[in-house]
A and B are shown apart, each in its own frame.
Chain A
Amino acid sequence: MSEMTQTWIILGATSSMARAFARKVADQGAVVLLAGRDMDDLKRSAEDMRLRGTDARAVKFDARDAETFAPILAEADAVGGVINAAVFVGSMPPQDAIDEDPSLIDGTVMDSFTGPARFLQSLAPLMEARGAGTVVGVGSVAGDRGRIGNYVYGAAKAGFATYLSGLRNRLTRSGGHVVTVKPGFVDTAMTWDVEGMFLVASPDKVASDLMRAVEKKKNVIYTPFFWRYIMLIIRHIPEFIFKKMSI
């Protein structure tokens, strides 16, 4: 493979947002490693992409099992060229389920923050050695402020966002880049039965926004863009009022 080859590791590749993003980087000729837990499904997606003309491979990734990390990095390293990663993992058990069983917090934080952070921590030296590459980290507007409805998930995503900020600070020095993405409501399996959603974006629209952010080396993007303003307002509600609200 030539030095110009772009490899994209897609963590959480079974999600519809990840699938849409993977198809877009594939259209630009990247080698794609589809990483996740459901290998049957990933193999289907990889075959689908191969039939459309992409070098796509299914690889095992479990945010809660660090032993799955090294083989993925080794495979990306073996392809050669520039290594990039996009993180779409995360889990959001209903807050009342967590209230009932606080141990669910551990898994939520592992899936949404510490698992992917640990993976990226091992990836960083490979990117630094190449002096290039982009990490796309999908956070959530839920991480911008703790709300009664999903503050454990929000806290995990907030932690991940802070981690990404630091990673950006580090990788910038060697020519790498990190894009933090905060999607609003996206029409995915995770939000299928969530009530009260508005201005819902399609996974394809979000993937297009991600592609543009990668090309333009954006630091933090909200998608769709107007969520920046919605969250600006929400972040500025004084705490003494916010604590009584249920939004």
Chain B
Amino acid sequence: MSWKTTEYTGWGRVLSANGQLARPERARALSEIAKTPCPAIGNRRSYGDAALNSDGKAIDMTRMNRILGFDAGTGVVTVEAGITIGELAHVFAPKGWIPAVMPGTGFATVGGCIAQDVHGKNHHNAGSFGQHVLSVTLLQGDKRTTATPTKNKDLFRATMGGIGQTGVIAEAKLQLKPCAGDVMMVTEQRADNWDQHINLLDASTAEYCVGWIDATATGGALGRGVIEEAELAKGLLPTAKPSKSVPMNAPNWALSGPIVRAFNAAYFRRVPGSGKSSVKRIDDFFFPLDKIHDWNRLYGKRGFHQFQNVVPLDQMDALREMLGLIARSGLASPLAVLKRMGPGRAGHMSFPMEGYTLAVDFPARDNAKDLIARLEDMTKDAGGRLYLAKDALATGPAIKAMYPEHGDWTKLADKADPDHAFATDMTRRLDLRNAI
């Protein structure tokens, strides 16, 4: 009754798995199913193979999505791990609380946010998701373990950003943050080139700050983009626009070079030279693409890759060089983001480091693969790292070199899961469960 064999993919749709999935709807069913130790997956918003387990089993947590407790005085909420960030924001923003860290899609589950220790547009102020987790409940076969920053603290730390390797994340207690109202006051400014872009990011004092970057602009316009700064505010809620969905795979030319260049130029000019301020709904600001369901189909049936790296502050020039390579390749899509990150991170395998992070989407083509391999090398040489939530192409030795605490993490993961029952396609591809 519980398991079915099916094919499923990561968000980028390049990698897929054929395996058995169960999707429990009750706590009792989950405990029963989890007796067979196997990885848990959420809404599969990781782009590559972090949520895939070929020829094995996995537990789809999306129907375990209830709120179990909330203290209106302290903003501490306890949830089943399959609840989405968007749902939490939707329920609690009107009560004056929102998740302290929200990734770029509201469809990410709390379990997924913990497993990838995600960050948001306020990373420079708030740190990563895991830094606001007060406790997690893990299912490891018959065992049910609770870990907090003080109790089972090694296990806790290995779980934050631990790509699900320490057990099934069943429940979590989160510290929400107070918000004055449930709208965003957003200011957008144009940056005409790389230096201006970096200067605006560096100078920003806003709570939320991110740069959209035109990854097709070259020469003097390299690095041009729009810097978005925002604060939570009280105000009248603009009416929600109805969501749309992408009904089928787009043809291959839909995101070809000339179309992307034209789109990006128009998007850049949308913001007047003097900048503009506006009021947006929380979900429109945080989850701009969620209004378009299944937008990953825009890349056609071959799917796409997202490259995201971070380099230390003093390696800004290396990042600029990488952006130059990307721009000259003509392979980038309109989805490209530049952001200054703070040092906040919660686990051994957490992505963030103080520096600049660049994220760019590429339709899956052989030349995109070559480019991404090149970018991987350059990132490693710059002392930076790649984001496992996005990765589908990296190599194990490079990732291990980028994550200095990887060796410590494997020991803790082994302690929690000696048989590697929670291994996934990603941990096997990158050989992440072995130290060397």
* Bound pair (A, B): yes
Binding site for B on A (CB under 8 A): 14-16, 19, 38, 40-41, 44-45, 47-48, 51-52, 188-189, 192-193
Question: In the assembled complex, which residues on chain B have CB atoms less than 8 Å from the CB atom of A45?
Answer: 66
B53 CB to nearest chain A CB (Å): 17
CB atoms of A44 and B91 under 8 A apart: no
CB atoms of A40 and B2 under 8 A apart: no
Q: A16-B25, A189-B29 are in contact. List 17 more A-B contacts (CB 8 A).
A: A14-B25, A15-B25, A41-B27, A41-B28, A44-B66, A47-B66, A47-B67, A47-B68, A48-B66, A51-B69, A51-B91, A52-B91, A189-B23, A189-B25, A189-B63, A192-B22, A193-B2
Whole-angstrom distance between the alpha carbons of A44 and B82 in the complex?
14
B157 CB to nearest chain A CB (Å): 28
Whole-angstrom distance between the alpha carbons of A152 and B57 in the complex?
32
Given contacts A38-B28, A189-B29, contact A51 B4 (CB under 8 A): no
User: Residue of B at shortest CB range from A190?
Assistant: B1
CB atoms of B1 and A193 under 8 A apart: yes
| Interface status of B267 (Cβ within 8 A of chain A) | no
Q: Fill in one digit per residue for B1-43: 1 if any A CB lies within 8 Å of its CB, else 0.
A: 1111000000000000000001111111100000000000000
A20 CB to nearest chain B CB (Å): 11
Binding site for A on B (CB under 8 A): 1-4, 22-29, 63, 66-70, 80, 91
A207 CB to nearest chain B CB (Å): 14
B171 CB to nearest chain A CB (Å): 10
Main secondary structure of the interface of B (DSSP, over half): mixed
CB atoms of A193 and B4 under 8 A apart: yes
User: Residue of B at shortest CB range from A188?
Assistant: B25
Can you offer 30 A-B residue contacts whose CB atoms are under 8 A?
A15-B25, A16-B25, A38-B26, A38-B28, A40-B28, A41-B27, A41-B28, A44-B68, A44-B80, A45-B66, A47-B66, A47-B67, A47-B68, A47-B69, A48-B68, A51-B67, A51-B70, A51-B91, A52-B91, A188-B25, A189-B24, A189-B25, A189-B29, A189-B63, A192-B1, A192-B2, A192-B4, A192-B23, A193-B1, A193-B4
Question: In the assembled complex, which residues on chain A have CB atoms less than 8 Å from the CB atom of B67?
Answer: 47-48, 51-52
Question: In the assembled complex, which residues on chain B have CB atoms less than 8 Å from the CB atom of A16?
Answer: 25, 63
Whole-angstrom distance between the alpha carbons of A64 and B366 in the complex?
61
Question: In the assembled complex, which residues on chain A have CB atoms less than 8 Å from the CB atom of B80?
Answer: 44
User: Residue of A at shortest CB range from B24?
Assistant: A189
CB atoms of A193 and B69 under 8 A apart: no
Question: In the assembled complex, which residues on chain A have CB atoms less than 8 Å from the CB atom of B24?
Answer: 189
User: Residue of B at shortest CB range from A48?
Assistant: B66
Whole-angstrom distance between the alpha carbons of A19 and B67 in the complex?
13
Question: In the assembled complex, which residues on chain B have CB atoms less than 8 Å from the CB atom of A14?
Answer: 25-26
Whole-angstrom distance between the alpha carbons of A22 and B189 in the complex?
45
Question: In the assembled complex, which residues on chain B have CB atoms less than 8 Å from the CB atom of A41?
Answer: 26-28
Partner of B27 from the list A19, A40, A51, A188 (CB cut-off 8 Å) is A40
User: Residue of B at shortest CB range from A15?
Assistant: B25
Question: In the assembled complex, which residues on chain B have CB atoms less than 8 Å from the CB atom of A189?
Answer: 23-25, 29, 63
B38 CB to nearest chain A CB (Å): 16
Question: In the assembled complex, which residues on chain A have CB atoms less than 8 Å from the CB atom of B69?
Answer: 47, 51
A187 CB to nearest chain B CB (Å): 9
Question: In the assembled complex, which residues on chain B have CB atoms less than 8 Å from the CB atom of A15?
Answer: 25
B82 CB to nearest chain A CB (Å): 12
Whole-angstrom distance between the alpha carbons of A16 and B68 in the complex?
17
A-B pairs, 3 with minimum CB distance: A48-B66, A193-B4, A41-B26
